[in-house]
Amino acid sequence: MAAQILDGLALSKIVRANLKDRVDVLLAKGVTPRLDVLVAAHDPASLSYVKMKHTWATKAGMTGESYPVDENTTQSQLIDKIHELNANPLVHGVLIQHPLPKHLDENEALLALGSAKDVDGITPESLGRLVADLPGFRCATPMGIMTLLDHYQIPIKGKRAVVVGRSVILGKPAALMLLQKHATVTIAHSRTEDLEGLCREADILVAAVGRAEMIKGSWIKPGAVVVDAGYNRVEGRQGDVGDVEFETAKEVASWITPVPGGVGPMTVASLLSNAVTSAEASTH
Ligand code: NDP
């Protein structure tokens, strides 16, 4: 029997409808939730992601500015901008869209941002809070994944989870969030031996690799829950392709996210949700 769909697009609409209600309460108090973004000026993929984030924010009643960063932007200008946004009480969230132009030090930028307006949850301070189980903004993509699993009541406690990918923004925090929900977690990466065998042990398999259709249906344990965070452009194919070979995987898995329409929309919904939470906190 084919897998059931973890429908991130449908759930993101519900999350965004809830957000709109929360934004309306803030607007009535004279607060307009605002998410500002620093983005590489000449990176078409980043620009299109940021455009979508602003569009969805506007639809929810929020506002926001974009600051293009290019080869002429110096590190000190970047840091000054971040300090300025940190100090601006009208700004509730700041997103540093990865990747910035190569000559800029993103880690230094994230350290300058700190945690108060880090609605993407990727600064060292926010990640430390995640490790320490302290309150704070959680990374948008893994947060979206956890919201999706929660909505579909996927059992996590005691389950064997394998996360393929160990990036700071996705693989590592996804593993930590699954661990917090009492999964037994293994993180795999490019040096993992027998990745295929490891994946086959997973009750919950999270793909966060960036390699189109690397994970085949034959790698998946029958009845497993498969979450595909991958977004890959493949020449000659329209649209984005996941890290999992959907057509073969859906015949084996019990639940699976599609690409597009799975993790991607949940990432944006989580980011906006964090920005609204930040705006709410500013009224207390
Ligand atoms: P990174 O390139 O930062 O990390 C990729 C990870 O995959 C690394 O840990 C790497 O291992 C591992 N990896 C690479 N090749 C292999 C392999 N052959 N076998 C096992 N592991 C491998 O990518 P991101 O985490 O930023 O993104 C991953 C994917 O998720 C991309 O497709 C990206 O577009 C997508 N993405 C989607 C988002 C969404 O909203 N849906 C948001 C962010 C990203 P190692 O550490 O050893 O190099």
Whether 254 and 193 share a structural domain: yes
Structural domain contains residue 7:
no
Residues with CB under 6 A from ligand 1: 141, 164-167, 169-171, 188-192, 195, 208-211, 229-232, 263-264, 267
SS3 content of the chain, % helix, strand, coil (to 5): 45, 15, 40
Residue 162 buriedness (CB in 10 A; 0-12 / 13-18 / 19+): buried
DSSP characters over 40-105: ETT-HHHHHHHHHHHHHHHHTT-B--EEEE-TT--HHHHHHHHHHHHH-TT--EEEEPSPPPTTS-
C-alpha torsion angle, residues 104, 51, 207, 123 (rounded to 10) = 40
Whether 42 and 104 share a structural domain: yes
Structural domain contains residue 75:
yes
Whether 94 and 145 share a structural domain: no
Tokens of 213: 């259709």
Of 52, 85, 117, which marks where a domain is finished?
A: 117
CATH number of residue 85's parent domain: 3.40.50.10860
* pLDDT at residue number 169: 96
Mean pLDDT of the chain, nearest integer: 97
* pLDDT at residue number 1: 75
Residues with a catalytic annotation lie at 53, 97, 120
Rounded to whole angstroms, how far apart are CA atoms 148 and 248?
22
- Going from the Cα of 71 to the center of ligand 1, the distance in angstroms, rounded, reads 26
Structural domain contains residue 168:
yes
* pLDDT at residue number 238: 86
Atom of ligand 1 nearest to the CA of 242: 32
Q: Which residues of the chain have pLDDT under 50?
A: none
- Going from the Cα of 68 to the center of ligand 1, the distance in angstroms, rounded, reads 25
Residues pairing with 93 in the sheet: 35
* pLDDT at residue number 163: 99
Atom of ligand 1 nearest to the CA of 166: 9
Where in the sequence is the domain holding 207, given as residue range(s)? 140-264
What residue owns the CA closest to ligand 1's atom 41? 264
Structural domain contains residue 278:
no
Structural domain contains residue 18:
no
Count of structural domains, the chain: 2
- Going from the Cα of 25 to the center of ligand 1, the distance in angstroms, rounded, reads 38
Residue whose pair of structure tokens reads 């705006």 in the numeric block: 279
CATH number of residue 209's parent domain: 3.40.50.720
Structural domain contains residue 271:
no
Whether 248 and 159 share a structural domain: yes
Most informative mutation of 97, 170, 228, 259 for ligand 1 (most atoms within 8 A of CB): 170
Of 102, 117, 132, which marks where a domain is finished?
A: 117
Whether 146 and 259 share a structural domain: yes
Structural domain contains residue 22:
no
Residue whose pair of structure tokens reads 């990727």 in the numeric block: 122
